[in-house]
Amino acid sequence: MNKILKNIFVRNWGLKLFSFLLALVFWFSIIPEEKLSFEISVTVPLELHNLPAGMEIIEKPPPIDVTIKAPHRLIDTINSETVRARLELGTARVEQTEFPINPDMIILPQGAEVKNISPSQVRMRLERSREIMLEVEANLIGQLQENLELVRVEVFPNEVSIIGPESKVKETYKVRTSPIDLSSLTESIEIETDLFLPDPDLRLASYETVITVRIIIEAKTPAENIPEKKKRKSGQ
């Protein structure tokens, strides 16, 4: 019996191997390409849409890993640019911290399908918005030349409306302008400037806000001339 089995597998083994490979090639050639599927994993950011008015995101969710099954012809097109994850927040509440992620939220090239998502839910923190008026302060740097003196600084408007998460909005904050270098000034000037907010989570309520700073400069009266003037007056 052993001898018979040995003859089956050993006799003409080269021809048998060639026949097997030929059959394998033939089998692959008759299978439609779309039935040859592969899996690939892609990490994508979670796009947040339709946040309700009056709410702020203070802790964004991390990216998610999506395992995708696709035909061989599509594999090279599956990447973080062609795969998107969209989370709708239209019904979100401030108290909600967990948000489920399901395959319907994943946008894929046509012909591909989602096999797995990790994590299946994400954490995110929301807060109510708060709007407040804050004072605008001119950010002056450097020193005027010795023969010049700073008479006054005017900011228009001197307050702006800012908005952000409740926990980030503080009444003690001030908004500062871009730095204005006094050492480069030789006369009074009026300039438009950008604003720097005290916290990166805050923003201007209106991005059309234009801030103008007026700096009034005068020449100093030479100290040595003051006694001479007094003498002249007394002599008269």
Tens of pLDDT, residues 166-194: 999 999 999 999 999 999 999 999 999 99
CA distance 133 to 155: 15
- pLDDT above 90 covers a percentage of the chain that reads 67
Q: What is the CATH number of domain 128-219?
A: 2.170.120.40
More confident site: 218 or 15: 218
The CATH topology of domain 34-123 is RNA Polymerase Alpha Subunit; Chain A, domain 2 (2.170.120)
Q: Is the pLDDT of residue 114 over 70?
A: yes
Token pair listed for 81: 């640019």
What local confidence, expressed as pLDDT, does residue 193 receive? Answer: 94
113-118 and 148-156 as β-strands: parallel, antiparallel, unpaired? unpaired
Which amino acid would we find at residue 9?
Answer: F
Q: What are phi and psi of 230, to 5 degrees?
A: -60, -35
What local confidence, expressed as pLDDT, does residue 76 receive? Answer: 87
What are the residue ranges spanned by the domains of the chain? 34-123, 128-219
| 55, β-bridge pairs | 128
Q: Is the pLDDT of residue 134 over 90?
A: yes
Q: What average pLDDT does range 85-90 have in this prediction?
A: 95
Whether the Cβ atoms of residue 166 and residue 129 lie closer than 8 Å to each other = yes
CA distances to 20, 35, 141 from 188, in Å: 93, 77, 16
Q: Is the pLDDT of residue 27 over 70?
A: no
pTM of the shown model: 0.65
162 CB-contact burial (10 Å; exposed 0-12 / middle 13-18 / buried 19+): buried
